[in-house]
Structure 1
Amino acid sequence: MPKRYGVKEKDQVVSHIINLVLTGKLRSGDRVDRNEIAHELGLSRVPIQEAVVQLEHDGILSTRYHRGAFVERFDESVVLEHHELHGMLLGIASARAATDPRPHVLSQLDSLTDFMRANRESRAFHEAAWQYRQTINEEYAGPRLLAEIRASQSFMPRSFWVTYLNNHDEMLPFYEAETNSIRGRDPDGARAACAGRAEAMGRIMVAELIRRGVLSPSRLAREPSVAL
């Protein structure tokens, strides 16, 4: 596989390993073959070790002395937990925005919400949603919170969400609620909108992984999601 220029080698390895997990090529308890990854990506062992350290920090891999790196438990509850944590972390920044809604931020959020409302095309909607999150996070999240938010995005592959056809109908109400909460100086409402959106995303991702045969159906998958 050719190198992806402009992308850090460590990040390339992280994405590769997560893709192996999300496609079922690596499953809970499987050992990560570092030599095979080095060969496939055309990289040295250094970025692979850096990626393993990050993925262990993120709770996706665990290392065992003299035995290597292994995939941690990966099941439906783990996917939902990653999304739940993501929603909580985003909610911290969003609640700060609601406590101190700065005019230039409100203007940008209003414009992006209007754009998402008017655009049903999945890629355009996702790009606007990404800008929406960046607007809040860059203004209200410090370095530590930003790092934790990035870590919590592991099981939210961009390649899936830019092609998910129901982005507009299922996600727009959460962004509208969040914008209204920030404008209305309602931090609890802003947190709830982030949590609700993350929960919905988690259940959508679980359903997709079950469809792919990566996960098996369980009681959690049959429970109805909570509407905003």
Structure 2
Amino acid sequence: MSADTAAAAGASLPPPGEAMVRRSSGEQAALYIRRLIFDGRLRQGDRVPQDEIARTLGVSRIPVREALLSLEREGWVTIRPHRGAFIGSLDEAAVRDHYALYGLVYGFAAQRATERSTPELVSRLGAVCDRLDGEDDPAAVARLNREFDGLIMKTASSPRLRAVLRAMVGIVPGNFFALVPGAVEVERAGSRTVLQAIAAGDGGAAAGAYATMLQRQGDLVADLFKSRGLFTARDEAGAGGR
């Protein structure tokens, strides 16, 4: 899709979907634009059809502009004065770095949680892992993932960590475990390894297990994006193979 045809395609934009529920208008717009990129409806160099997106979402252009500012900070779009917003190039290294950073943040939380661990925490994390082992529904896996991470963040008891996580935005537009093949298996194995490290009182191992799990999730996302043609030829030529 060229920059000239992108705006015309706006008339056939897909509906926003259930993932938009309980989000602010700006967050809805940002998630929706990420989904358009993920689905290949908007590609590198395309102009973002702001009016059509606003009509599709039933919002004014203000939340769409807010979303574009946020997406520019994340590297998804480039805003050109008096010309509009255009889809930027996705970088495979940036995708992998995104998950490596998640691993560092959650790893730090796991280390802190290990220092403050109680038998109750180990028991509750173990119960989540047991439920993960028998669960294949992506929505249920996502809930269990949030419960596991939430227990660790609560035990770590670090407002600063929570602030850092709030500033980090997921790059997969939708249920991660439904969209990324292999993600459920990585989550099961990784969460169990984190639990074992916390139960053993080894904060360093818990941090390392989280980092490894998130790195593997990042590998899956990079492979998925590559299979969808979301990386430019230049990015693919410069990236190392797996």
TM value normalised by structure 1: 0.81
C-alpha separation between the residues in 1 aligned to 2:130 and 2:167?
Answer: 29
> What is the aligned-residue identity percentage?
28
Matched residue, 1:57 = 73
Gaps of 5+ in 1: 224-228
Q: Where do 1:90-129 residues align within 5 Å?
A: 90-129=106-145
C-alpha separation between the residues in 2 aligned to 1:21 and 1:165?
Answer: 18
C-alpha separation between the residues in 2 aligned to 1:53 and 1:142?
Answer: 29
C-alpha separation between the residues in 1 aligned to 2:84 and 2:159?
Answer: 31
1:189–1:218: structure 2 CA closer, same or farther, 3 Å change rule?
Answer: farther
Q: CA deviation at 1:19?
A: 0.9
1:149–1:2: structure 2 CA closer, same or farther, 3 Å change rule?
Answer: closer
Number of equivalences: 223
Matched residue, 2:11 = none
* Residue from 210, 213, 236 that aligns with 1:194: 210
C-alpha separation between the residues in 1 aligned to 2:35 and 2:41?
Answer: 8
1:80, 1:199 within 8 Å by CA — same for their partners in 2?
yes
C-alpha separation between the residues in 2 aligned to 1:21 and 1:198?
Answer: 23
Matched residue, 2:36 = 20
* Residue from 177, 199, 203 that aligns with 1:183: 199
Deviations 1:153-182 (A, max 9, x none): 421344341365644433322111111222
1:109, 1:135 within 8 Å by CA — same for their partners in 2?
yes
Q: Which SS does the other structure have where 2:86 is aligned?
A: strand
TM value normalised by structure 2: 0.77
Quick check: 1:135 aligned with 2:151?
Answer: yes
Deviations 1:121-151 (A, max 9, x none): 4443333122111222244364443343244
Measured on the aligned residues, the alpha-carbon RMSD in Å equals: 2.8
Quick check: 1:222 aligned with 2:241?
Answer: yes
Stretch of structure 1 that moved more, 195-204 or 120-129: 120-129
2:142, 2:177 within 8 Å by CA — same for their partners in 1?
yes
2:180, 2:220 within 8 Å by CA — same for their partners in 1?
no
Q: Structure 2 counterpart of 1:14, which letter?
A: A
Matched residue, 2:27 = 11
* Residue from 71, 81, 85 that aligns with 2:97: 81
Matched residue, 1:226 = none
Gaps of 5+ in 2: 1-14
